[in-house]
């Protein structure tokens, strides 16, 4: 078994053995590693996305609202308009004033945040680390938008001593679902991203959504097992939320999609955690989403409601993260689920990996 993760597995062992956690909480891990409370600061660098701007598609993922391009409140709009460094300073001050912690990991969060020329990215990342309270940054992007030169750039910040994370939206490992939600990428891209991240000491996080159209609970558990084998350092787990003004909203209105119920989601999350490697850090178990933008589900998806209920479910079952996780495959055994051009990419990656062993 290859241990590919960048996170320190001994620290995770301590979270279970000494702190008595039943799943590996990202915040607890960071506190142990850095010796203080680390908070994430979301930033809007006003990126677009190749499935919005016509390069791959122009409709976006079926669940992504067009307004996500500038997904932000009016008051924050005024902050954004003052410039990126001013936005960072404002956000850090705001979070610190609420007692969020001492050190910040800034999060370039909205749109596809590596989808720009290299000089633009360098300027943004330089701005990210300019503030004295910043220990590093994390970049939200798509797994197909990370060319080698972007990895080279990110590695420079690692070599300067910063914590660098890549947060790759994957949502599922299943090709039929990726097609149904118009992602316009496959799973081979994530395999490459995690490989490249780990060879450069960059931590890799993946977003996963439960309740995607046409996906069975068995397939969701397969996603848990496969991304565990891949060795991602952390995940963010969400229910599929139907936002207003999306194609998913149209499907929902026509009765073509049914959102998960509250307990259905809670049970699926508990199942997912059981099938996941105990070493994958958990950053989120739900998504904070207000009624002004949400059409369904009607239940409250806020993390402070959902997370304690999932913890209670795990306790009731007498289980914990990884309790059903079996090491059934090595990363090299991962194969694309559909024969497409992606399989050629995967074959090349596999050959490269073999020659570098
Ligand atoms: S890749 Fe991300 S930003 Fe782009 S449309 Fe999909 S969810 Fe939205």
Question: Three-class SS of residue 210?
Answer: strand
Report the pLDDT value the prediction gives residue 127, as an integer from 0 to 100. 97
Phi, psi (rounded to 5 degrees) for 295: -100, -40
- Cβ–ligand 1 contact at 205 (below 6 Å): no
pLDDT confidence tier of residue 252, bands split at 50, 70 and 90: very high
Taking the CA atoms of the chain, what radius of gyration do you get in angstroms? 20
Distance (angstroms) between ligand 1 centre and the Cα of 204 equals 18
User: Is 187 in contact with 175 (CB distance < 8 Å)?
Assistant: yes
Q: Whose CA is nearest to atom 7 of ligand 1?
A: 64
> Which tens digits make up the pLDDT trace of 197-239?
999 999 999 999 999 999 999 999 999 999 999 999 999 999 9
- How close is the Cα of 61 to the center of ligand 1, in Å? 6
- Band of residue 283 on the pLDDT scale cut at 50, 70, 90: very high
CA distance 76 to 60: 24
- Is residue 209 within 6 Å of ligand 1 at its C-beta? no
Predicted confidence at residue 356, as pLDDT, reads: 47
- Indicate the average pLDDT of the chain: 90
CATH architecture of the domain formed by 9-356: Alpha-Beta Barrel (3.20)
Count CA atoms within 13 Å of residue 40 on its CB side: 17
Atom of ligand 1 nearest to the CA of 64: 8
Percent of the chain topping pLDDT 70: 88
The ligand 1 atom nearest the CA atom of 60: 5
- Binning the chain into helix, strand and coil, the percentages to the nearest 5 are 45, 15, 40
The string over 239-250, giving b where at least 16 C-beta atoms fall within 10 Å of a residue's C-beta and e elsewhere, is bbbbbeebbbbe
For residues 80 and 176, what is the distance between their CA atoms, to the nearest angstrom? 38
- Strands 242-243 and 294-296, bridge-based pairing: antiparallel
Please say whether the beta carbons of 90 and 81 come within 8 A. no
Q: Whose CA is nearest to atom 4 of ligand 1?
A: 49
Query: Do 46 and 70 form a contact (C-beta atoms < 8 A)?
Result: yes
Mean pLDDT in residue range 165-185: 96
Point out the ligand 1 atom lying closest to the alpha carbon of residue 52. Answer: 5
Is 143's C-beta closer than 6 angstroms to any atom of ligand 1?
Answer: no
Beta strand pairing call for 242-243 and 234-239: unpaired
Total Cβ atoms within 10 A of residue 158: 17
Q: Does the CB atom of residue 61 touch ligand 1 within 6 A? A: yes
Determine which residue's CA is closest to atom 6 belonging to ligand 1.
61
CA 51–ligand 1 middle distance (angstroms): 7
Q: How confident is the model at residue 148 (pLDDT cuts 50, 70, 90)?
A: very high
Ligand 1 center to 112 CA (angstroms): 7
Give pTM, 2 decimals. Answer: 0.90
**Residues near 328 by beta carbon (within 8 Å), at least 6 away in sequence:** 225, 229
150 lines ligand 1 (CB under 6 A): no
Domain boundaries, the chain: 9-356
- Residues 297-336 have pLDDT tens digits of 999 999 999 999 999 999 999 999 999 998 666 655 555 4
pLDDT at residue number 345: 56
Sign of CA dihedral 134, 135, 140, 145: positive
Residue 111 CA, closest ligand 1 atom number: 3
**139 and 113 Cβ atoms separated by less than 8 Å:** yes
CA distance 342 to 191: 11
């Amino acid at each position: 078994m290859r241990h590919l993760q960048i996170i320190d597995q001994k620290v995770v062992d301590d979270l279970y053995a000494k702190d008595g956690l039943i799943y590996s909480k990202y915040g607890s891990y960071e506190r142990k590693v850095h010796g203080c409370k680390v908070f994430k600061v979301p930033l809007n660098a006003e990126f677009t996305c190749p499935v919005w701007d016509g390069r791959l598609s122009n409709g976006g993922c079926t669940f992504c609202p067009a307004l996500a391009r500038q997904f932000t409140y009016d008051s924050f709009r005024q902050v954004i308009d003052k410039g990126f460094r001013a936005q960072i300073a404002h956000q850090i001050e705001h979070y610190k004033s609420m007692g969020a912690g001492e050190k910040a990991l800034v999060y370039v969060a909205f749109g596809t945040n590596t989808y720009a020329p290299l000089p633009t990215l360098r300027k943004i990342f330089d701005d990210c680390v300019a503030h004295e309270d910043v220990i590093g940054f994390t970049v939200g992007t798509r797994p197909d938008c990370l060319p080698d030169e972007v990895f080279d750039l990110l590695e420079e910040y690692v070599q300067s001593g910063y914590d660098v994370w890549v947060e790759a939206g994957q949502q599922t490992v299943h090709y039929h679902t990726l097609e149904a939600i118009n992602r316009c990428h496959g799973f081979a891209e994530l395999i490459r991203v995690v490989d490249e991240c780990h060879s450069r000491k960059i931590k890799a996080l993946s977003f996963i959504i439960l309740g995607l159209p046409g996906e069975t609970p068995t397939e969701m558990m397969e996603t848990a097992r496969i991304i565990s084998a891949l060795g991602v350092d952390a995940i963010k787990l969400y229910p599929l939320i139907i936002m207003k003004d999306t194609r998913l909203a149209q499907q929902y209105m026509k009765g073509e999609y049914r959102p998960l119920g509250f307990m259905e989601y809670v049970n699926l999350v508990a199942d997912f955690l059981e099938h996941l490697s105990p070493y994958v850090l958990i950053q989120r178990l739900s998504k904070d989403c207000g009624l002004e933008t949400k059409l369904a589900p009607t239940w409250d998806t806020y993390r402070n409601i959902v997370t304690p209920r999932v913890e209670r479910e795990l306790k009731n079952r007498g289980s914990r993260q990884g309790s059903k996780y079996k090491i059934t495959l090595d990363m090299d055994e991962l194969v694309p689920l559909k024969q497409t051009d992606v399989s050629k990419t995967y074959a090349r990656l596999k050959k490269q990996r073999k020659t570098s062993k």
